[in-house]
Structure 1
């Protein structure tokens, strides 16, 4: 009976320690995800408007010509919409 009780205590202790360690890992993972999400929110790209069709698009995708932004080369050729 004594050996059974000893093994039960050892098994329960191992399970308890493993649960604590997995909980700490999960907390660290959540904290890292929060930091990464905050960094990606801060790095949001600005939007610009096409001078011809007035749609908004990311600045990295826009064409710059004659001091204005355009959504495509065709609209840059057409110029301002009348």
Structure 2
């Protein structure tokens, strides 16, 4: 029983060392690629700037201002809704 436990522990240790060696080799290979900007994993991604939302005058859907169509002082989600005009509510 003692020999079996010894071999199991030894196999687990060998697999653990092989995994660490594989990760280190992959990291070295990624660092050695020319033309790529080196980035640290600890840097958080830059957040996107917040954009105001507007409401379509026809269907009422809210969408980012940069995607909206502005005509005659009103915002629309598409050219079709701008052509149809404001909804009768």
TM-score (norm 1): 0.53
Query: Aligned equivalents of 1:66 and 1:45: distance in 2?
Result: 22
Residue 65 in structure 1 maps to residue 78 in structure 2: no
**Which protein has the bigger helix share?**
1
Moved over 6 A (4+): none
Query: Aligned equivalents of 1:67 and 1:73: distance in 2?
Result: 14
| Map 1:1-82 → 2, pairs under 5 A | 28-30=40-42, 32=43, 34=44, 36-37=45-46, 39-40=47-48, 43-82=49-88
Where does the alignment leave 5 or more consecutive residues of structure 2 unmatched? 1-26, 28-39
Per the TM alignment, residue 62 of structure 1 is displaced from its structure 2 partner at its CA by 0.6
TM-score (norm 2): 0.49
RMSD: 2.0
Where does the alignment leave 5 or more consecutive residues of structure 1 unmatched? 1-21, 23-27
Q: How many residue pairs get matched?
A: 51
